[in-house]
Structure 1
Amino acid sequence: MTRQRILITGASSGLGEGMAREFARRGRALGLAARRLDRLTELADELAPQAGQIAVTRLDVTDVDDVPRAFTELATELGGVDRVIVNAGLGKGAPIGTGHAAANIETAATNLIGALAQAEAAMEIFRAQGHGHLVLVSSISAVRGLPKAQAAYSASKAGVSALGQGLQAELAGSPITVSVILPGYIETDINRGVKTKLMTDTDSGVRAMVAAIEAEPRRAEVPAWPWKPIAAALRYLPDALSAKLV
């Protein structure tokens, strides 16, 4: 099945923008949401010659009461939605108990509570129309609790993965499918300043993301190499070694 009408959150930059560009290149109709409406409008104007149709709306996913409005608005403009990519996320963080609680709480609110609000809105649309593909963008950091500045981020993404697993169990055999995507280090603003030999350039990372999403797996680490074996190893390695991998 080709999912023609795709809604992407966090689409004004990073992986969200990259996925919008790649799906537009494939001629898909797009509903794009993000906090920066000016960036979305510029992107929509740029992609309009390629995409089947583009609708945009401003959305801060931490405003949970506004998420259903945004999703309904985009779905109405597109004439329905075949796939929702829950991508909006935040990478702020600090070691817990060092006086930066606000950054950690904001990260958890955006990545987990915001993702839950988006899943609620997407699933209402999918249940009403009887089909759909929900994509939850988690992270390799969800596989293992990470220390210091990454603790709140990894915890929030672990929650996203668990949400996807629960929906998969509930919806098994139904026309609604759920995929959990776990990116490793891909060169975007959220990873700016990270020094690692495991970083994937943006274009390659986006292509891996889109290829995984199009296959509609239950779970996919992207890029598969080296992140699939690293994810497997993270479950069993001692803390001292696992902290060096991510």
Structure 2
Amino acid sequence: MRVRMTGLAGAAAVAALLVGAAPASAAPGDASAYGARLHVTLLGSPAVTAEPFAAADANGRGQNTFAGVDLTGILKTGVINASASRDENSGGVHSRASTADVRLDLLAKATGKISAELVEADCAATQKGLTGKAKLVGVDLGKLGRVDADPAPNTKLDVQLAGVKIAEVVFNEQIRNNDGSLTVNAIHIRLLQGVLGSIGTGDVIISSATCGPAGLPIPMASGAGLWIGLGLLGAAAAPAAAVALRRRASLNAA
């Protein structure tokens, strides 16, 4: 009887180890996205702060839509769509934000009005790593210059007024975060503080997606991971069960 109880106790210990380890070792990655966010203070005007529009998150609202932003003298957009998802089987995550009919009046004094038919940011994390990209459709940068429809990561154009740099615009900005995730900002405008001729300070981000790193490929607590866990449990318990049977057979023979 003692031997049989020992075998069951060993099996229970292995089971507890598997179940207890599952949440920590199989936690998947995260992903999020939004269409626009800004915090600017223009000269002679109060600060304007707008929280992320159409925010989506793989752990909450996976898809979100916003009818459009209308901030006079700063930014106007059409429909914003954002999505963030996680594949529980592979551990991969994906996020995307798209902002339609963008019109940026913030820099009009220096560049004229900047506009785009569509501004997209895309981010994906798999077991192979993280990738991100931005796509710009129908972009008109006025006096600022030109940029490709698929700009290279961290493409930057300087904004000057009367020969003085007052801002910079980054296209396909890619930021590697300390937690291992990747953030892709399709357009990021930075107003430079404390420069002669400055129109103000702050940041405007249009279409942002963050993802990764990917989680473990198979959650231990469900699906295929559960069958793997049960298989490991059986393999661990088998030697103890075999010893118990041999000892029982010896006792019966005696």
TM-score, normalization by structure 1: 0.29
Q: Which has the larger helix fraction?
A: 1
Higher strand share: 2
TM-score, length of structure 2 as denominator length: 0.28
